[in-house]
Amino acid sequence: MGKKSSSSSSSSSVLLSNSKNKNGWIRSNRLVLLIVGFVSLTCFLLDRQSLARDHQVEVSMLNEELAELRSQLEDLRTQLKGSGIEFPINDKKRKMEEDDPISFERREKVKEAMLHAWTCYEKYAWGHDELQPQTRNGVDSFGGLGATLIDSLDTLFIMGLHEEFQRAREWVANSLDFNKNYEASVFETTIRVVGGLLSAYDLSGDKIFLEKARDIADRLLPAWNTPSGIPYNTINLAHGNPHNPRWTGGSSILADSATEQLEFIALSQRTKDPKYQQRVENVIKELHKNFPADGLLPIYINPHTGMSSYSVITFGAMGDSFYEYLLKVWMQGNKTEAVKLYREMWETSMKGFQSLVHRTTPSSFAYIREKNGNQMSNKMDELACFSPGMLALGSFGYDTGEASKMLSLAEELAWTCYNFYQSTPTKLAGENYFFHDGRDMSVGTSWNILRPETVESLFYLWRLTGNKTYQEWGWNIFQAFERNSRIETGYVGLKDVNTGVKDNMMQSFFLAETLKYLYLLFSPSSVISLDEWVFNTEAHPLRIVTRDENIQFDRKQDLPTRFRGRKEGRSGYN
């Protein structure tokens, strides 16, 4: 047992020592593992740390680069803002801003309509003034100045149709020729061509548009060489020789003579040549001399005396845009002291305007009468439907009580104009309306030539009140144009809104105005903001820049030559 026990004790001591060795081995192994683990963890952590450091360096370098790029972008924006150039409107940004998917969809539909009108013009009437869609040819109703093309430039740009805009720009640069033996209307050429080119310049910053605007304005300028400064309304573009059309009996027309201010002032501001501004501001000063207490001027003026001749007073054809420009020149001039006279004259005219407003029975539609001497006529042109927009725009210059009165009159009149459309079988408005006791209104001249005035007013009312009803009305009018006026080869007017019989003319103002105002009606208000832009009467937005009465004109170029060095020749202003 003892042996057994001694042997068992020695074997157990062997076992013990074996197990001790084993434990020691295990322990030392663990220690090695621990050391290896520790070392690897340390290495790993050190590696992570250095990676993190590298990333940090990279991130801060990228941040620096980003900050640098941001500041470069800001600099560029500021420079471009000063020079009148704007970044092309970014569709992606526009989509992000847009909170109303219905407006987005409608805007796209209007853009598609513009593309259709433009594509047909390009195909059948390229370079001509207007497209005759039914006969698929172009006509030169304005002397062959590419009126539709120029009228469309800013619409294409605003809608982001840049390839189309570029093609039009190339035509302006290479083919537009003003040297035409043609008796042009000073008014139509100014609002469409000078206005269209200046707007394209303000939007794109491309100098070619400014050069061309100056060229055509220089050809128009002799029209203001009259004893009173009230211009003749027609001039030969190649030879000068201004005169008035025979059918006015020698008179100048009010709207034709006093709707050049926005364009010519803008031209002076951009060229730093005061002569354009001087000519057109003289007209207003002249009209101010005999301005009546109610601010309403008859449509005919004698260009020799500056006095009005006996004729109709109207906010429709031949009167309309004179009143529009009184307000808009005040806005273009930043509502400053220098343009106070314009606002005062406009407010005076708005008193007279209210005296023309009457209401129908039984439905109490407000409408604007015409006046001949002491006689009131219960007739209103669709053309006068620009006035709700004008009233809404001008209402913000009054104190609160008067402002809300003017705005609500604007809303009432817009309702009437919308009913010009809604009351016909085609849902398109006729050219003018008559009003009768007990029977509200009826169409007079029943054609529709794709005019913009009602949608123009809906655009202003939507922008200024935020009331979506105006978008709904505009959409209904757009759909009526789509149903009645769209054909495979463009858009046409209607000879009669009762029967829907079509004419053969796509008016250039359909692309300049009707489609532009509709597009803007469904766009965020930052697109051509009313704080930064003023629309001319052909819907060409002109950028509002600081009106500086002491503009530092290039003295060398603009001073009468008697003030110049002798060697420089020529005498006096041209």
Name which of 491 and 509 has its Cβ closer to ligand DMJ: 509
Backbone dihedral region of 488: left (phi > 0), alpha (psi from -120 to 50 degrees) or beta? alpha
Query: Binding residue for ligand DMJ (CB under 6 A) from 133, 275, 537, 543?
Result: 537
- By beta-carbon proximity to ligand DMJ, the closer residue of 114 and 271 is 114
Asked if residue 234 binds ligand DMJ (CB under 6 A), the reply is no
- Biggest alpha carbon distance in the chain? 155
Q: Is 538 in the site for ligand DMJ (CB under 6 A)?
A: yes
Nearest distance in Å: CB 386, ligand DMJ: 7
Our answer to whether residue 188 is catalytic in this structure is yes
Closest to 208 measured CA to CA, from 174, 157, 158, 180: 174
Q: Kindly state the smallest distance separating residue 188's Cβ from ligand DMJ, in Å.
A: 7
Report the residue closest to ligand DMJ, judged by CB.
537
Q: Which residues of 402-424 are buried (b: 16+ CB within 10 A; e: fewer)?
A: eeeebbebbbbbbbbbbbbbebb
Helix (H) or strand (E) holding 132: strand 130-132
CB of 179 to ligand DMJ, least distance (A): 24
Q: Tell me: cis bond preceding 298? Omega within 30 of 0 counts.
A: no
Is 344 noted as a catalytic residue in this protein?
no
Q: How many CB atoms lie within 10 A of CB 52?
A: 10
Residue among 539 and 547 whose Cβ is closer to ligand DMJ: 539
Q: Does 322 bind ligand DMJ (CB under 6 A)?
A: no
Would you give the end-to-end CA distance of the chain in angstroms? 144
Mark 335-374 with x for binding to ligand DMJ (rule: CB under 6 A) and - for no binding: ----------------------------------------
Give Cα separations from 202 to 87, 158, 459, 518 (angstroms). Answer: 11, 12, 21, 21
| 451 makes contact with ligand DMJ (CB under 6 A) | yes
Choose, from 122, 164, 188, 381, the residue flagged as catalytic: 188
Nearer to ligand DMJ, 387 or 537 (CB): 537
C-beta of residue 462 within 8 angstroms of C-beta of residue 521: yes
**How near is the Cβ of 280 to ligand DMJ at its closest, in Å?**
16
What is the smallest separation between the CB atom of 453 and ligand DMJ, expressed in angstroms? 6
Return the sign of the alpha-carbon dihedral for residues 185, 142, 459, 172: negative
Active site residue 431: yes
If you write DSSP's letter for every residue of 385-412 in order, what string do you get? GGHHHHHHHHHTTS-HHHHHHHHHHHHH
Pattern 134-173, ligand DMJ, x by CB under 6 A = ----------------------------------------
- Residues 460 to 499: which contact ligand DMJ by CB under 6 A? none
* Strands of 183-185's sheet in order across: 183-185, 234-236, 240-243
Q: Per the structure block, which two tokens stand in for 542?
A: 């002109």
Residue in 381, 382, 440, 453 annotated catalytic: 453
Cβ closest to ligand DMJ, residue 416 vs residue 537: 537
Per the CB < 8 A criterion, the answer to whether 152 and 118 are in contact is yes
Residue 62 CB, shortest distance to ligand DMJ, in Å, is 52
Residues 172 to 201 in contact with ligand DMJ, rule: CB under 6 A: 191
Sign of the alpha-carbon torsion through 105, 429, 385, 143: positive
Q: Which of 431, 496, 503, 538 is catalytic?
A: 431
- Strand 183-185 relative to strand 234-236, pairing: antiparallel
Question: In the 8-state DSSP scheme, what is residue 239?
Answer: T
- Nearer to ligand DMJ by C-beta: 186 or 547? 186
The count of chain residues that interact with ligand DMJ, using the rule CB under 6 A, is 9
* Shortest CB 452 distance to ligand DMJ, Å: 6
By C-beta, is 141 or 469 nearer to ligand DMJ? 141
Name the active-site residue from 122, 320, 347, 381.
320
For residue 509, state whether it binds ligand DMJ (rule: CB under 6 A). Answer: yes
Choose, by CB under 6 A, the member of 321, 349, 395, 454 that binds ligand DMJ: 321
Look-up of token digits 């620009």: 386
Closest to ligand DMJ by CB, 298 vs 452, is 452
What single-letter DSSP state applies at residue 192? Answer: I
Shortest CB 518 distance to ligand DMJ, Å: 14
Q: Please, how many CA atoms are within 13 Å of residue 75, restricted to the half-sphere of its CB?
A: 6
Would you name the residues annotated as active-site residues? Answer: 188, 320, 431, 453
By the criterion CB under 6 A, which residues form the site for ligand DMJ? 191, 321, 383, 451-452, 509, 513, 537-538
